Amino acid sequence: MILLMILIYLWCIKPNKLTKERRKKMQTYISHYIAHRGLFDSNLSIPENSIPAFKRAVEHGFGIELDVRLTKDRQLVVFHDATLLRMCGVNKKVADLTYEELKQYRLEHTNHGIPALKEVLNVIDQKVPVVIEIKAEKNSALTAKILDQQLKARHYNSNFCIESFKPFALKWYRDHRPEIIRGQLVSDYIKNRKNRSLFVSLILNGLLLNVFSRPDFIAYNYKCANKEKYRIMRKLFQFISAGWTFKSEEELKRVRNIFEIIIFDGFIPSNQKAKGKMELINKH
């Protein structure tokens, strides 16, 4: 009975088995360092998730990670937090405001506003790989659906992948756009329970919802590299993993060879390409 339960658990948590074609698609994310929320620098008045941050990342040849959220009128904007408090000094939720209302606010006391996704896609223009994180407090599948509609409308057909902490956002892509690469973000859901029940936190912490989403890669806080759970997962499934978020060259050097996909912010890596990673993917 115990053995059966273990086998069921392993079946539930296993990532997607990558075909040669999907491995090839993932090589672009492995061969570029990914700038977290763009190549932002507050000292240069370039806020995170802003048009200048994305332009700067493109100019340096870095891949880009960005966050998308739905407004009250179902427009997609590029913004990380659920509220405007940290970035704009206003304690209002993005989901409670229309896009027109959001346009009045500035990021970190600069002249830069909260960009619509369509503006950002025009700036990046498929020049570098993009990792799009789906943010949603409710109905993440709806956010995934509208994201897909906007990507299609902008003829953005390649050089992007999807990731989310929300398994059902990934499930939407698995069901409706299975050709798109998708990644499951992982946090310590027990430690950071917020408003979740312990039961739900245990399910998320154990990656049990992978059975629905079957992610192509799993994105971990890079500090998980030394945790036994991560090591066991790597040995069992030999999956592709992303490490987030490296804040210095020293952090990057310590565990660079453990993660295939590197997501950084707060500095400019000395080597823009993740050399050696192309060989790692072929071992899986």
* Catalytic, out of 36, 60, 155, 176: 36
Backbone angles phi, psi at 234, to 5 degrees: -65, -40
In the block, tokens 């658990």 appear at 9
Q: What contacts 264, CB < 8 A, 6 or more positions away?
A: 33, 34, 35, 36, 245, 246, 247, 252
Distances, alpha carbon 29 to alpha carbons 91, 159, 238, 240, 262, in Å: 35, 9, 17, 11, 8
- Known active-site residue 80: yes
Q: Which residue has the tokens 């430690």?
A: 191
Please report which residue ranges of the chain form alpha helices under DSSP H.
Answer: 2-13, 20-30, 51-60, 85-88, 99-102, 117-124, 140-153, 167-176, 198-205, 210-213, 228-237, 249-255, 277-281
- From the list 32, 60, 80, 155, the catalytic residue is 80
Can you say whether the dihedral through the CA atoms of 3, 5, 11, 14 is positive or negative? Answer: negative
Report CA-CA distances (Å) from 27 to 35, 43, 148, 159. 16, 33, 22, 10
Judge whether 32 counts as a catalytic residue. no
Q: Supply the residues annotated as catalytic.
A: 36, 80
